[in-house]
Amino acid sequence: MSKEKIILGIDPGTTIMGFGLIKVIGKTMQFMQLNELDLKKYDDHYLKLKLIFERTIELIDTHHPDEIAIEAPFFGKNVQSMLKLGRAQGVAMAAGLSREIPITEYSPKKIKMAITGNGNASKEQVAKMLQSLLNLKSLPKNLDATDGLAAAVCHFYNEGKVEVGKNYTGWSAFVKQNEGRIKK
């Protein structure tokens, strides 16, 4: 009997958080869900972070993922945007860590490469490839949801490879792997 596993993929953001779930049975993946948390109507940044945390916990408690794949923030020129994106990623990670779910980070380039074979692919190219791979009938209007799904599929494709990204199995693992960055 093949072991079954659920992977939750998250594309963190303070405007829209995209997410997708796949079920893995043996070496086959099946589409479960993709959606987004729309945060545009909220002005309070801290409220947005609270909602990201709560939605991630709700997804975990509903679908019981075995692993979480999360898109790492890309390094842009706007420091404030990076800070906000890092906070969004952090609260989503904290939600997973609070439930003892292993988390792996992937760079946007790595995710695009895993899905399309091109690390510079557009959101539309990634979405179309996912539509083909998972037999999706339609694509969402905003492609943040497909970006979250892409993180989960990337994780599936990278399973068993030695260098997949940063892995965290709990708070102690996170602290240990980031000791050099933590100021005492």
Q: Looking at 36, 71, 105, 147, which residue is catalytic? A: 71
Q: What is the rounded distance in angstroms from the CA atom of residue 53 to the CA atom of residue 87? A: 11
| 66 labelled ligand-binding | no
| 54 labelled ligand-binding | no
Q: Looking at 36, 105, 144, 147, which residue is catalytic? A: 144
Q: What is the rounded distance in angstroms from the CA atom of residue 86 to the CA atom of residue 21? A: 22
* Active-site residue, 105 included: no
| 11 labelled ligand-binding | yes
Scored b (16 or more CB within 10 A) or e, 56-86 reads bbebbeeeebebbbbbbbeeeeeeeeeebbe
Closest CA to 146 of 124, 114, 118, 165: 124
Answer whether 20's CB lies under 8 Å from 2's CB.
no
Q: Looking at 11, 67, 105, 147, which residue is catalytic? A: 11
* Active-site residue, 124 included: no
* Active-site residue, 66 included: no
Q: What is the rounded distance in angstroms from the CA atom of residue 76 to the CA atom of residue 82? A: 7
List binding-site positions. 11, 71, 144
List binding-site positions for Mg(2+). 11, 71, 144
Catalytic residues: 11, 71, 144
